[in-house]
């Protein structure tokens, strides 16, 4: 288990958060909207886009669709779990954005 956790690459996540922070600061600079709320809204938009693309690619005719692999009941169950996790993270970020705006 330790080896698996040691192999996680955090570089893409750090790059995404950095870009979202820069966009959030830019929104604050030009509009006066609070940077944390703007950053969280940008992160939410990116994650919703990723959720939509993830599901479209696994549908029949999608980029990641493989007959007999991604359309099995087990694969559908795992896709459903991933969707629930992504939706929960998005809801938590929405709550954080609303809370930071208040």
Q: 85 is written with which tokens? A: 């996790």
How many Cβ atoms sit within 10 Å of the Cβ of residue 55? 14
* 5 falls within a domain: no
* 97 falls within a domain: yes
* 51 falls within a domain: yes
What's the domain range around 88? Answer: 36-102
* 31 falls within a domain: no
Indicate whether 27 pLDDT > 60: yes
What integer is the mean pLDDT of 11-20? 92
Asked whether 40 and 96 are in contact (CB, 8 A), the reply is yes
Asked whether 86 and 54 are in contact (CB, 8 A), the reply is yes
Domain count of the fold of the chain: 1
- List pLDDT tens digits, range 41-69: 999 999 999 999 888 877 777 777 667 77
* 46 falls within a domain: yes
* 3 falls within a domain: no
């Amino acid at each position: 288990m330790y080896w698996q956790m040691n192999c996680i690459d955090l570089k893409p996540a750090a790059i995404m958060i950095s870009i979202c922070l820069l966009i959030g600061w830019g929104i604050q600079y030009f509009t006066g909207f609070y940077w944390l709320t703007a950053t969280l809204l940008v992160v939410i938009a990116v994650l919703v886009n990723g959720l939509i693309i993830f599901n479209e690619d696994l549908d029949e005719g999608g980029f990641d669709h493989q007959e007999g692999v991604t359309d099995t009941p087990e694969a559908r169950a795992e896709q459903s779990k991933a969707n629930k996790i992504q939706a929960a993270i998005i809801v938590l970020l929405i709550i954080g954005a609303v809370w930071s705006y208040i």
